[in-house]
Amino acid sequence: MKKQMWIVFLILLILGSSAGLGFAQGKYPSRAIDIYVPYAPGGGTDIMFRNIEKIISQYKLVPQPVNIVNKPGGGGSIGKAVCLSKPADGYSFTCFDVGTVAHQIQGQVKWDYRKDFAYIARMVSDINFIIVRADSPINNAKDLVEAIKKKGPKSISLGGTATLGPDHFGNIELNRGTKQQFNYVPFNSGGEVVTNLLGGHTDAAWANPNECIGQLEAKQVKVVGVCTEKRSPLFPNYPTMREQGYDVISIQTRSFVAKGGTSPEVIDYWVQVLDKVRKTPEWKKYLADALLEDGWLVKGDFFKDAENDYKNIKSVMDELGMSKK
């Protein structure tokens, strides 16, 4: 009997070792990877994922193709829901941002950020500008506030990406900080936001630097204010909204997540891949060109950051009566 048990133990040990070797030797991934971008092409999240895919392909960091799949709509909830509808097998990924927790708090989605997402890596930290067209009579924050005081509540529109996303919450902070009511107009991506601003469909816009740097350099738009606590060393000539007398902060992070229940081995695999990505000269150039900061946090530390996002967003939404009762 003892001999039989010993044989069974050896078989199980060999099978377990073989499974580990199979993963290490590259049986995962055995087919193409899909990254679901929950916004339209041209926005900051789309640009980030496309840079990740380009570097993975260039350096052959993953032995299978990585597909970027745009699934815009629902303020970002549709693309994330598509990812969560797939098996937790390491072949489908999406982003985590403040919209992920905001939609949950409002009761618009079925997911629970605590258990339905597998936290892999927070990649970048981004700041927000309020911009206007170059020919706008608005040149600074005071002009912006005086214009809406003169015209009345919601008479000045600001375009932004998604409902209940970073731009939307930036607009809420703008309303609170100025004691005015600016009209928020959501679009599917940062690219659409800037296009509609230039087309005269909105008076101003929320934009990350990488979404409007080309237009800034071409002098098609100008910055009303930077929504950071202190003046950014990347933009020493642009005053913050706080410097101009209005406490308006809007900072966002962009991250890489999978469906909850994804195996620890797959999570570790992608932490290693993404760490290699961020150490390449191409990634460093992307950060520099897009005027982004490295936001690297992984696994447990990334989840703690997500918990902070939830707490901060919930307090705002509770105050405004936007939380699900």
For residue 305, the domain's CATH number is: 3.40.190.150
Is the same domain home to 44 and 112? yes
Are β-strands 293-298 and 157-161 bridged in parallel, bridged antiparallel, or unpaired?
unpaired
Shared domain for 39 and 86, answered yes or no, is yes
Q: Verify that 266 and 242 share a domain, yes or no.
A: no
Looking at residue 56, its pLDDT comes to: 98
Examine the domain organization and report whether 226 and 276 are in the same domain: no
CATH number of 140's domain? 3.40.190.10
Q: State the pLDDT at residue 18.
A: 38
Q: Containing domain of residue 220, as a range?
A: 129-249
Inside any domain, residue 14: no
pTM for the full predicted model: 0.76
Q: What is the pLDDT of residues 38-92, one digit of tens each?
A: 999 988 899 999 999 999 999 999 999 999 999 999 989 999 999 999 999 999 9
Least confident of 72-76, 267-271, 301-305: 72-76
197, 261: one domain: no
Whole-angstrom distance, CA of residue 33 vs CA of residue 60: 14
Q: Are both 48 and 159 inside the same structural domain? A: no
Asked whether residue 242 is assigned to any structural domain, the reply reads yes
Which residue among 200, 224, 249 closes a domain? 249
Would the pLDDT of 16 be above 50?
no
Of 12-16, 198-202, 283-287, 316-320, the poorest mean pLDDT is in 12-16
Strand ordering across the sheet containing 251-259? 66-70, 33-37, 92-94, 251-259, 117-127, 293-298
Checking if the pLDDT of 1 tops 50, the result is no
What's the number of CA atoms in the CB half-sphere (13 Å) around residue 96?
32
Q: Is 212 in the same domain as 147?
A: yes
Residues 114 and 256 both lie in one domain: yes
- Is the pLDDT confidence value at 270 over 80? yes
* 155 and 218 co-located in one domain: yes
Question: Which tops the pLDDT comparison, 319 or 242?
Answer: 242
Residue 325 belongs to some domain of the structure: no
Over residues 179-232, the pLDDT tens digits come to 999 999 999 889 999 999 999 999 999 998 888 989 999 999 999 999 998 998
Average pLDDT score over residue span 137-162: 97
Count structural domains, the chain. 2
pLDDT (tens digit, 9 = 90+) per residue, 111-121? 999 999 999 99
Residue 282 lies in a domain: yes
Residue 9 has pLDDT above 80, yes or no: no
Residue 5 or 254, more confident? 254
Give the pLDDT of residue 135. Answer: 98
Question: Is the CB of residue 240 less than 8 Å from the CB of residue 231?
Answer: yes
Domain boundary residue, one of 229, 249, 269: 249
The rounded distance, in Å, linking the Cα atoms of 80 and 72 is 9
Same domain assignment for residues 267 and 242 = no
Res 4 pLDDT > 70: no
In a domain, residue 16? The reply is no
pLDDT of residue 293: 86
Quick one: 133 and 121 in the same domain? no
In this structure, are residues 206 and 130 in contact, taking their beta carbons and an 8 Å threshold? yes
**pLDDT at residue number 291:** 81
Residue entry with tokens 């913050």: 240
CA 181 to chain centre: 26
CA 47 to CA 91: how far, in whole Å? 20
Q: Across the strands, what pairs with 207?
A: 129
Burial zone of 221 (CB within 10 Å; 0-12 exposed, 13-18 middle, 19+ buried): buried
The answer on 223 and 139 residing in a single domain is: yes
Question: Is 59 inside a domain boundary?
Answer: yes
For the stretch 237-258, pLDDT in tens is: 999 999 999 999 998 899 999 9
The answer on pLDDT for 322 being more than 70 is yes
Peptide bond into 29 cis (omega under 30): yes
* pLDDT tier, 234 (very low <50, low <70, confident <90, very high otherwise): confident
Picking from 218, 249, 280, the residue at the C-terminal end of a domain is 249
